[in-house]
Amino acid sequence: METKEIKQSTWIKLENLATQYRFGVIAITLLIIGCLGGVAMSYGAALHMWSLIAVVIPTMTTLSLLLAVAPMRWILNAFIVTLLVDITVILIV
């Protein structure tokens, strides 16, 4: 009987590593997303309704997932989306 090794993608490996170090990832994510959301607001995201909504919804979703101790896949996906949205709004506004 042979066993085959299943090859995992880089994203799955990252998710497994993040699950292993869950509380460190939560602390770092909280710091990055909280500060980046504040920086986006201070650079003028609150001046326009579209940019306010674009920053607040993903940021609060990520922070809520962290508080709810959601699965790491959800947290990592929300983290990436929030990071992209916040940086885009900072560069545009």
CB 42 within 8 A of CB 89: no
Higher model confidence: residue 41 or residue 3?
41
6-30: average pLDDT: 89
Average pLDDT over residues 49-73: 92
pLDDT at site 93 = 81
Residue spans of beta strands (DSSP E) within 1-93: none
For the chain, the C-alpha Rg in angstroms (whole number) is: 16
The structure tokens 């292993």 sit at: 20
How many H helices and E strands in the chain? 4, 0
Average pLDDT, the chain: 89
pTM: 0.83
Q: What would the two tokens of residue 56 be?
A: 């607040």
Query: Given pLDDT bands bounded at 50, 70 and 90, which one contains residue 1?
Result: low
